[in-house]
Amino acid sequence: MAISMKRSKRKYSGKQIIKAGEKLIRENIQDDEKAFSAAMDILSYWRFNHEEPLDFAFKLLQELIPKKDNTAIFAKRLKRYPSIIAKLKRFDKMKLKNMQDIGGCRAIVSNKKKLQQVVRELRKRPEFKNTEGKIRAKNYVDKPKEDGYRGYHLVGQFSNKEGEKMDIEVQVRTVLQHDWATALEIVDLFTGQALKSNQGDKDWKVFFASVSEQFAIMEEIHMFNKLSDQDKFTEYLKELNKDDQHMSGCRKTQDYCQRLNVIKKLNAFAVSLKFVDTKLGENGGRGYVLIEINTEKNTGKATMFKEENSAEAEAMYTEVEKASAKDKHLVVALVSSTAVGGIKEAYPNYFADSTDFTKYLHLICDAQVKRKDGVFSNLFNWKK
């Protein structure tokens, strides 16, 4: 006798899930404690439903991708509450039930050639094809986002134990593309911007878009990631000299790097981020971290506040911000401990080695490019 597998009934209907998302983006929803708590229960339930399908997607990546690139790095995450709410607010037609990336996993491969090989394999998989055989994918490698983001995204359907299929997003990036995305996330965290959502200071947006173009030039160089630092620089210079647009883009990146004092800030952010991570490990719990960075001395200070002391944190932040307005070398930020945790979860390698983005940025800034006055110059001296 055949045994039929019964699907367990959902605790909440699709309409209830959609309505919960709509409630959570209302102004002052947290003032209505009962409504907020009920909506959060539904969101948590819906997010948890993606856990098993996410595990299946993650295992698929770990099985398939090492056959093409045995140096690949993998990460997975369930989308955090602030990110879900921000996305619901950002897109008018977005509904919680239809959000495709509540569960997401990522593979970071060594170069563009490996990325193309991996994508071809994933596109063959039935999980990424709908009933009509069509594949839901976004090629941000060949057609980057406006902000300069590059990577390849696929949305597949993976089942939980009850046989219910859920959307899971899979991202494939090269190491350079990942370094770029990491740096943008860190700048967002420390400057209070939303560059990842294409919002924020115009100069920073131009800077990251320009860097992305230069990184793309580097990735077209044969075996670029295998070259020595000096050979990377030499080959990159050759590519710049072949194309006036490439040269112009390099000059633009140098200008904005200097204008924003990017390298000093990123170095200070990296030191502070590691310091904050250590502090969080010692103190734990939810709350806020007031970060004070001196980009000239490359020093940082972090002051912890419990969640219930947010008013005190805001008051001290205001005072420190006044001081920073008089000193261009001081950068201050008030960030939530959960935001730092989210960065660490999504970019674990950043805490181990945060120098990669800056290293490649140096290649750009060290390049001798023809400037408006006709003189060939650069911002930094290349050290062999």
Residues 64 and 25 in one domain: no
pLDDT in tens, 299-318: 767 787 887 887 888 788 87
Residues 25 and 97 in one domain: no
Choose the final residue of a domain: 173, 197, 217: 173
Residues 159 and 57 in one domain: yes
Choose the final residue of a domain: 173, 197, 215: 173
Residues 94 and 43 in one domain: no
Measured distance CA(320)–CA(322) in Å, rounded: 5
For 231-255, b where at least 16 C-beta lie within 10 A, e where not — what string? ebbebbbebbeeeeebbebbbbbbb
Domain hosting residue 290, numbered range: 263-353
In this prediction, residues 38-57 reach a mean pLDDT of 91
Residue 281 has a pLDDT of 61
Where residue 111 falls among pLDDT bands split at 50, 70, 90? very high
Residues 39 and 62 in one domain: no
In this prediction, residues 3-27 reach a mean pLDDT of 77
Residues 134 and 22 in one domain: no
pLDDT at 341 over 60: no
The more confidently predicted of residues 271 and 85 is 85
pLDDT at 384 over 70: no
Residue 7 falls inside a structural domain: no
Residues 106 and 165 in one domain: yes
Kindly list the distances between the CA atom of residue 156 and the CA atoms of 58, 69, 78, 119, 346, in Å, as whole numbers in the listed order.
11, 21, 15, 13, 20
Residue 352 has a pLDDT of 46
Residue 194 falls inside a structural domain: no
Residue 5 falls inside a structural domain: no
pLDDT in tens, 215-268: 999 999 999 989 999 999 999 999 998 998 999 999 999 999 999 999 888 887
Residues 161 and 275 in one domain: no
Measured distance CA(341)–CA(339) in Å, rounded: 5
Residues 270 and 313 in one domain: yes
Residue 205 falls inside a structural domain: no
Residue 312 falls inside a structural domain: yes
Indicate the average pLDDT of the chain: 83
Residue 381 falls inside a structural domain: no
Residue 294 has a pLDDT of 74
Residues 88 and 156 in one domain: yes
Residue 1 falls inside a structural domain: no
Residue 123 has a pLDDT of 96
Residue 181 falls inside a structural domain: no
Residues 78 and 168 in one domain: yes
In this prediction, residues 152-159 reach a mean pLDDT of 96
In this prediction, residues 122-140 reach a mean pLDDT of 93
Closest CA to 181 of 104, 105, 108: 108
Counted domains in the chain: 3
Specify the CATH number for the domain of residue 62.
3.30.460.10
Residues 84 and 28 in one domain: no
Measured distance CA(51)–CA(161) in Å, rounded: 11
What tokens appear for 367 in the block? 């390049």
